[in-house]
């Protein structure tokens, strides 16, 4: 029922006019992306302070016999890889949904202060309420993410929001929240000792229980995102056109916010604030698939974990045997990408 979105100008040769051929290409591309993701999973299990040969990876996964390598794989590397997968899916989908919802190419859960909101709520829960388990503070992360995303949306001018306004509102909110987080950490040295690692964004503390705790939330959010693909497609054409096409604007907006809150809140609660994954991946994806959300979302769900796991593996390799937290690696990769996006003329004039 929805007409094919107007093809965006891109240098990508894949944007051929014949629709069936394009679909085959997109499916093939998705298959390649999944293959890359699987390879990275193996790499993520094999690479680290103690390198494990690939043959042993297979052994540890399917013929567990309790050797040192098997223990490393089963108790450390596998949960960490799974957490990277789940959190990556969450961050990537959240970024794509936010960019479509705000019609703003610079929307990112990190830049818009949502991660900082979840962090502030988690820090409060840990310090003041003595909540220590992930299952306890994941709810605070959701609450913080929800409140801050609503506040930034309003502060940024809601429907009249421009990229600059939203980015400024998000950064200002982040500044305020980090001031608060710093103050809390100062008043309690023990909290600082625990929190200074969490506030970086890292996968290194992963265990299987963490993954299982956030999995239902990310799964629900991901399902919601995929269901919203069509209405979001309609909304990208502007409110009037969307209404004419039969999209329910308010319901879509509210559901999209719920979806973003679920995805970002869960990812942030488990790994701490990670910026730029949600920003970069949808841009790369749109250059390949065009603006159709029905393709953008699945691609994001595959490529965001690729980025996150890739950054994590990179962080483990560059300063071996110590490691660089994944949040730092993504920020250092993402910053230049962001600046490049901004320097493009079309973007700066938005």
Partner 1 sequence: MTAPTTTSADTATRSVRALRTPGGLSVRVDPRAALVTVLVGAAAVAVGVVLIGSGDYPLSFGQVVDTLLGNGTAAQEFVVRDLRLPRALVAVLVGASLALSGAIFQSLSRNPLGSPDVIGFSHGASVGALSVIVLSGGSALTVSLGAVAGGLATGALVYTLAWRRGVHGLRLVLVGIGVAAMLSAVIHFLVTKANLVDATRATLWMTGSLDGRDWAQVGPLALVLAVLVPVTLVHGRPLRMLEMGDDAAYALGVPLERTRIVLIGCGVLFIAVATGAAGPIAFVALSAPQLARRLTRAPGPNLAAAAVMGAALLLAADWIATEAFPGRQLPVGVVTGVLGGCYLLWLLVTERRAGRL
- Asked whether position 176 contacts partner 1 by CB under 8 A, the answer is yes
The pair of structure tokens assigned to 112 is 């818009």
> How many residues of this chain interact with partner 1, rule: CB under 8 A?
51
Q: Please, what's the largest Cα pairwise distance for the chain?
A: 63
CA pair distance 30, 125, nearest whole angstrom:
40
Any idea which residue has 């796991």 for tokens?
A: 309
DSSP character for 13? T
Segment near partner 1 (CB under 8 A), from 3-11, 49-57, 171-179, 211-219?
171-179
Selected from 17, 63, 130, 343, the binder of partner 1 by CB under 8 A is 343
Nearest distance in Å: CB 330, partner 1: 8
Segment near partner 1 (CB under 8 A), from 46-54, 73-81, 88-96, 166-174?
166-174
- Asked whether position 30 contacts partner 1 by CB under 8 A, the answer is no
Nearest distance in Å: CB 295, partner 1: 27
Preceding amide of 278 cis, omega within 30: no
Nearest distance in Å: CB 350, partner 1: 9
- Asked whether position 171 contacts partner 1 by CB under 8 A, the answer is yes
Considering beta carbons, is residue 129 or 348 the nearer one to partner 1? 348
Selected from 157, 216, 238, 246, the binder of partner 1 by CB under 8 A is 157
Considering beta carbons, is residue 52 or 307 the nearer one to partner 1? 307
Nearest distance in Å: CB 66, partner 1: 33
State the binding string over 224-263 for partner 1 (x if CB under 8 A, else -). Answer: ----------------------------------------
CA pair distance 206, 312, nearest whole angstrom:
12
- Asked whether position 342 contacts partner 1 by CB under 8 A, the answer is yes
- Asked whether position 193 contacts partner 1 by CB under 8 A, the answer is yes
Interacting residues with partner 1 between 307 and 336 (CB under 8 A): 324-325, 327-328, 331-332, 334-336
Half-sphere CA count of 324, side-chain side, radius 13 A: 18
Q: What H or E segment, with its residue span, contains residue 313?
A: helix 293-318
8 Å CB contact between 329 and 317: no
Segment near partner 1 (CB under 8 A), from 4-12, 173-181, 234-242, 294-302?
173-181
Nearest Cα residue to 217 out of 295, 284, 269, 182: 269
- Asked whether position 182 contacts partner 1 by CB under 8 A, the answer is yes
CA pair distance 321, 211, nearest whole angstrom:
25
CA pair distance 151, 240, nearest whole angstrom:
25
Selected from 36, 61, 76, 192, the binder of partner 1 by CB under 8 A is 192
- Asked whether position 338 contacts partner 1 by CB under 8 A, the answer is yes
8 Å CB contact between 288 and 29: yes
The pair of structure tokens assigned to 211 is 């993954």
Nearest Cα residue to 273 out of 335, 334, 203, 199: 199
Nearest distance in Å: CB 216, partner 1: 29
- Asked whether position 196 contacts partner 1 by CB under 8 A, the answer is yes
8 Å CB contact between 152 and 169: yes
- The CA–CA distances, whole Å, from 273 to 87, 138, 248, 327 equal 11, 13, 32, 7
CA pair distance 13, 203, nearest whole angstrom:
37
What are the residues binding partner 1 (CB under 8 A)?
A: 106, 110-111, 151, 154-155, 157, 163-165, 167-169, 171-173, 175-176, 178-180, 182-183, 185-186, 189, 192-193, 196-197, 199-201, 275-276, 324-325, 327-328, 331-332, 334-336, 338-339, 342-343, 345, 347-348
């Amino acid at each position: 029922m929805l007409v094919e979105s107007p093809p965006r100008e891109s240098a990508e040769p894949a944007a051929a006019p014949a629709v069936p051929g394009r679909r085959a290409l997109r499916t093939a591309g998705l298959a390649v992306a999944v293959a890359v993701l699987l390879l990275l999973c193996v790499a993520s299990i094999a690479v680290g302070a103690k390198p494990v040969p690939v043959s042993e990876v297979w052994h540890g996964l399917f013929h567990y016999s309790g050797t040192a390598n098997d223990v490393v794989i089963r108790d450390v590397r596998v949960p960490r890889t799974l957490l990277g997968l789940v959190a990556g899916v969450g961050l990537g989908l959240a970024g794509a949904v936010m960019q479509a919802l705000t019609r703003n190419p610079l929307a990112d859960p990190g830049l818009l202060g949502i991660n900082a909101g979840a962090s502030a709520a988690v820090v409060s829960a840990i310090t003041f309420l003595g909540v220590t388990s992930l299952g306890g503070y994941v709810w605070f992360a959701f609450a913080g993410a929800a409140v801050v995303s609503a506040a930034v949306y309003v502060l940024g001018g809601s429907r009249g929001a421009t990229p600059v306004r939203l980015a400024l509102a998000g950064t200002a909110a982040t500044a305020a929240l980090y001031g608060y987080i710093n103050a809390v950490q100062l008043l309690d040295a023990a909290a600082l000792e625990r929190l200074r690692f969490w506030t970086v964004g890292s996968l290194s503390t992963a265990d299987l229980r963490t993954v299982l705790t956030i999995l239902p939330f990310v799964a629900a959010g991901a399902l919601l995102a995929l269901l919203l693909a069509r209405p979001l497609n309609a909304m990208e054409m502007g409110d009037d056109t969307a209404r004419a096409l039969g999209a329910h604007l308010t319901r879509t907006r509210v559901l999209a916010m719920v979806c973003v809150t679920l995805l970002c809140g869960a990812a942030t609660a488990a790994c701490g604030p990670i910026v730029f994954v949600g920003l970069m991946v949808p841009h790369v994806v749109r250059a390949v698939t065009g603006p159709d959300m029905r393709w953008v979302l699945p691609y994001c769900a595959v490529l965001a974990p690729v980025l996150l796991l890739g950054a994590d593996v990179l962080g483990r390799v560059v300063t071996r045997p110590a490691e660089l937290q994944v949040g730092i690696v993504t920020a250092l990769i993402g910053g230049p990408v962001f600046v490049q996006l901004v320097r493009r003329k079309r973007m700066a004039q938005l």
